[in-house]
Amino acid sequence: MTILCVRFQLPQAREADLPRLLAMLEEFTPVVQALPPDAALADLRGAERYFGRDAVELASVIRVRSLALYGVDCVIGAGPGPMLARVALGDAVPGVTCAAPEERDAVAEFLAGKPVGALPGVGAATSRTLADYGLDTLGRVAAAPLSTLQRLVGARAGRELHEKASGVDRGRVVPDSVSRSIAVERPFGRDELDPDRHRRALLSAAEELGARLRTLDKVCRTLTLTVRYADRSATTRSRTLAEPTAHSPELTRSAYGMYEALGLQRARVRAVGLRVERLDPADQASHQLTFDPVDEKVRRVEEVADRARAKFGPRAVMPGGLAGRAA
pLDDT at 325: 53
Mean pLDDT of the chain: 86
> Looking at this protein, which amino acid is placed at residue 218?
K
pLDDT higher than 60, residue 324: no
pLDDT higher than 80, residue 299: no
CA–CA separation, 25 and 120 (whole Å): 22
The better pLDDT of the pair 46, 297 is held by: 46
11-39 pLDDT, tens digit each: 765 666 777 888 899 999 999 998 877 88
Mean pLDDT of 227-232: 88
Strand order in the sheet with 234-245: 181-192, 269-281, 218-229, 234-245
pLDDT at 36: 76
At 133, phi and psi to the nearest 5?
-105, 15
The better pLDDT of the pair 5, 233 is held by: 5
Predicted TM-score (pTM) of the model is 0.60
163-196 pLDDT, tens digit each: 999 999 988 898 865 456 788 889 998 899 999 9
pLDDT at 23: 86
pLDDT at 41: 94
Four-residue CA torsion sign, 227, 229, 232, 235: negative
pLDDT higher than 90, residue 147: yes
Mean pLDDT of 72-78: 95
pLDDT at 327: 46
pLDDT higher than 80, residue 321: no
223: confidence class by pLDDT, cuts 50, 70, 90: very high
pLDDT at 178: 46
141: confidence class by pLDDT, cuts 50, 70, 90: very high
pLDDT higher than 60, residue 67: yes
CA 281 vs CA 182, 183, 224: distances in Å = 14, 18, 19
Mean pLDDT of 122-147: 91
E strand residue ranges, the chain: 3-8, 32-35, 39-43, 74-79, 98-99, 181-192, 218-229, 234-245, 269-281
CB < 8 Å & 24+ apart, contacts of 149-157:
153/126, 153/129, 157/126
